[in-house]
Structure 1
Amino acid sequence: MSTVVTTDPILTRPARRTAMRTRLQNALPQIVLAPSFLLTIIFVYGFIIWTGYLSFTNSKTFPSYGLTGARAYQRLWNWTFESDPPSSWYTSITNMGIFGVLYVGICLALGLLLAILLDQKIRGEGVLRPIFLYPMALSFIVTGVAWKWFLDPGLGLEQTLHQLGWTSFHFDWIKNKDFVIYTVVIAGVWQASGFVMAMFLAGLRGIDSEIMKAAQIDGASAVQLYRRIIIPLLRPIFLSAFIVLAHMAIKSYDLVVALTSGGPGGSAWLPSNFMYEYTFKRNEMAVGSASAIIMLMTISAIIVPYLYSELKEKAR
């Protein structure tokens, strides 16, 4: 004789509710993130694809969806419009090289130096840290306007020193097309070096003190301690700071506009300024899109290897 076991539905109802609650809790992060994920896919990656498509068209004031191959890229690198400066794109990428190298290099060196000095437990460290870090809280627009006033020969530093009696002092870089890009470097370094200092200071405070004590016992001098032990241990901080600074350098459109208004004859243009000018002011949407794609490829060439190394490190 077989026995039939029946399950009381009343007894399983709490278990069903518990299982449903567990499923909802597990799915809650995906539900919350789904709208922002969808918007990111559409308005970031979707428009990247759209911009890439426009760069292979003959779009002018409005989009034109007929493909014309790489003509926009050819026009970008071999500029032939008689009414435009023949070297506007080359000026932009040259300025990007000057600004990028000096901005990243000086910020790294100055940030590391400030971090090392603050790491000596000097008096007033709690006051100095926020003073150095404060400029990073400002937007590029505010930084650019402030330094524009400061560097203006008729208003800022030069005029002040003339009033104090030093009439032979001249500092007109912001008006000089050959030196205007260096004023952008000065303003950018002033803003970002404190942030880099904070990153290095956090890295220095995270180093095991026993390692440094052992090196000192072995007779290592302060210079050898930093050169052979501490600075090599800060390699991840160097890499992270480089990625952040390089990204900021490539997209420093607002700093250039606020500080120099593009400089005399566009002499302070960066690729971001070129892209905006030719897309929205000179009605060359295809050429502007091509320059935007080149900027994207530059950023990707910096960030993708970094992400790959990070993911590879976590997979070990």
Structure 2
Amino acid sequence: MKIISAKVTKIWVIAMCLFTAHSSHAQNGEEESIEFSGSVDTYFRTNLSGDKFDAPASSFANLNGFALGMVNIKAEQSTAQGGFVADLVFGPRGTDAIFASPYYSATGNIVNQLYAYWNASEKLTLTLGNFNTFLGYEVISPVDNFHYSTSYLFSYGPFSHTGLKADYAISDDQSIMFAVMNPTDFTEMNDVDLYTYGLQYGFGGTYLNVLYGKQAVDANATFQVDLTGGYDLSDAISLGVNASYNETMEAGGFYGAALYPAVTVKEGVDLGMRVEYFKELASGGVAYGAGNSVIDATLTASYTTTDLRLIAELRLDQSSSAVFDSMTADQLSSFVLAAVYSF
């Protein structure tokens, strides 16, 4: 009980400090005040086939029955010269996202992002610290995802990085980014003296992302190339795309692609799908096993009112081999009902 009380006290102190900083700026009438935002999400999940405790080998939304997502609290400030972001998470979704922590700090597993940036010019921005990955179509926060569960492509790519990145706006439609970072998801520190390099080129709504570097002393370098895009086909119809290839020589990897069509039925009501193909390399698998492939078909209905979003999701995972229900079935169907509140 003392340990739990101490953790609750720490969380309360952090929240009060953020609120006090926000209030102090507001009372002083400063234009460049600290903005305070966040979200809360929770859900119910059940399988329509197979063992009730079975779940796809993708991240988040994989607990049975009524379950918790996370609390997300973010403080940020942006000025003409630069700014910062302090992004904290509490709960199962946050814990899964920061799986490599706590490593050095006892509270390292609540820090989702922590970085400062400098606007060196109108075109160049330098960022130092811990930031969420630039690869993939989906993100950690359910606020910014249409579907509540996540894809395999997102789940087995990076979640977060700690390092230095430079973003340069070539024009209104083109951008380029270069980053030097710790090994993937080692966000608190770098005790192996290895570095990973990242590159992103953006044109319109399409981004080409590259990641390269050794992730462990006794491993070969990991190479990943990733393409993402988001397009408005009409006022009511949109399409997202993601394709990725990831390989660590002699250790395996994966490749695949996903489409994200969505349509607005009426104000506040949206329907969407995720159709994904995910293939593990013959040299080594990352999810179900070497050479295995899986198709994820997810149908989602979303209802949004003010700051609350309700999400109903039907998902079917079809594998090339028996990987579900104690290795006796090649498919798993599930249902999720989630509530996401943003503030």
Larger % of helix: which? 1
TM range (shorter): under 0.3
- Compute the TM-score of the two structures, normalised by the length of structure 1: 0.22
Larger % of strand: which? 2
- Compute the TM-score of the two structures, normalised by the length of structure 2: 0.21
RCO comparison, higher one (Cα < 8 Å, 6+): 1
Higher Cα Rg, which structure? 1
